[in-house]
Chains A and B, each alone.
Chain A
Amino acid sequence: MSDREIDLQLVERVRAGDQRAYGLLVEKYHRKLMRLLSRMVRNSDEIEDIAQETFIKAYRALPQFRGDAAFYTWLYRIAVNTAKNHLMARGRELPTVSDQAMNDEDEPDERLVAQNISTPESELLSKQVAYAVDEAVSALPEELRQAITLREIEGMSYEEIADTMACPIGTVRSRIFRAREAIAAKLRPILGTSEDRRW
């Protein structure tokens, strides 16, 4: 089942009354969405507000989602419209980036991500997470490091990774899982173990 089909499954669950499935979609896409918004809005609080509003609007509009487009594409359009309305309501100019860049659904050009979207606390935490992930990846055995890198950074499928690493697909699946678990183990002390976060 492709990534898009999994999103569709999650949407179907939400539409069948399982609100927690929406939490998975929020978790999956909010960082990507915030980076998109950071190209249009400078203030970090505003970015967070617009992102929240986007997810709430999307939730309300889910009954109209037909699955013709990918969920993120649909969410992206809502985010861009929400940001435009937000800026217009405040009588502000649209972003300094071009419309073409705003309408580009690919990964944003890093040169355009000039704004600082974080608060000092969140920036510190973000750096801690990034550092822990980098350290954990560096400490991985070569075959695990290569597998997770090819998957997460290069975006290769398991079949492509199997070809590249000359091993069975089942081995790729196992290596990627072990890599994730090893990195997650390094992150847990930073992420904490509080039980009060339920969604």
Chain B
Amino acid sequence: MTIKTATAPLASQAEEDALSALLDGELSQTESLRALARIHSAPAERTRFRTYSLIGDSLRGLPDTHPDFTTQVMAALKNEPTLLAPMPRRRERRPALWLAAAAVSAITWGLWQSLPDQPIPAPMAANAPRPVDVEPYLAAHQDFAQAVIAPAEMQFTQVSFVEPQR
């Protein structure tokens, strides 16, 4: 097996152990993206990635029986068209905005409740002066317009109580 040795000096110790932590899924999103970008640009980092993967698999008892496997697959893919199908962005949740909206609602409700009771004004339509020529029309349609022209005590609904038959 021939794998390139990671000899290129890296920027810092923190960057070096970032790749190791990346393999373990122990980096933050920002650090992970930075480490992945470094792998993308530095062949030495890819070699390190391969070596670390091999060490882990070897410790877990997975034999490296096909050392050139990745090279062969990548050679086979050379003639494949480059994929250009970016993944759809997942809708990001904004809990801070929701929390703010909830807080404003709660404060508004609290203030509303704390206001002194005030008389509820009568509906505008009942008090509004009506033009005279409307009266005959309303009178002719009073069955359908009781709420407007009938006095309050006449506003009722007819119901009947029928004894259930046995």
Contact = CB atoms under 8 A, between A and B. Distances in A.
Interface of A: 1-6, 8-24, 26-28, 30-32, 34-35, 44, 48, 51-52, 55-56, 59-60, 62-63, 66-67, 107, 110, 117-119, 122-123, 125-126, 129-130, 133, 137, 148-149, 151-153, 157-158, 173-174, 176-177, 180-181, 183-184, 187-188, 190-199
Interface of B: 1-6, 16-17, 20-22, 24-29, 31-33, 36, 39-40, 43, 46, 48-77, 80, 82-87
Nearest to B83: A15
Given A125-B64, A191-B3, A192-B1, A153 B59 contact: yes
B25 A3 contact: yes
Interface SS, A side: helix
A11 B24 contact: no
Q: Which 8 A-B pairs have the closest CB atoms?
A: A194-B2, A192-B2, A199-B74, A177-B17, A63-B85, A118-B65, A3-B25, A177-B20
Contact of B2 (A3, A17, A30, A197): A197
A117 B64 CA distance: 10
Contacts of B27: 1
Nearest to A9: B36
Contact of B25 (A6, A17, A56, A107): A6
B36 to A, nearest CB: 6
B17 A22 contact: no
A19 B74 CA distance: 8
A97 B24 CA distance: 32
A159 B144 CA distance: 75
Given A30-B70, A133-B58, A153-B60, A19 B2 contact: no
A152 B40 CA distance: 25
Contact of B55 (A125, A180, A194): A180
A126 B54 CA distance: 10
Instruction: Name the residue among B6, B53, B70, B84 with the largest chain A CB count within 10 angstroms.
Output: B70
A28 B21 CA distance: 15
Contacts of A187: 51, 54-55
A107 B61 CA distance: 11
A191 B48 CA distance: 12
A26 B4 CA distance: 17
21 contacts: A1-B22, A1-B32, A5-B25, A8-B87, A16-B84, A24-B49, A27-B53, A30-B70, A31-B63, A32-B62, A34-B66, A44-B65, A125-B67, A176-B21, A184-B55, A187-B51, A191-B1, A193-B4, A194-B2, A195-B4, A197-B71
B59 A152 contact: yes
Contacts of B53: 27-28
A119 B43 CA distance: 29
A117 B65 contact: yes
Given A60-B80, A133-B59, A5 B32 contact: yes
Nearest to B62: A31
Given A12-B87, A26-B74, A117-B65, A1 B28 contact: yes
B65 A176 contact: no
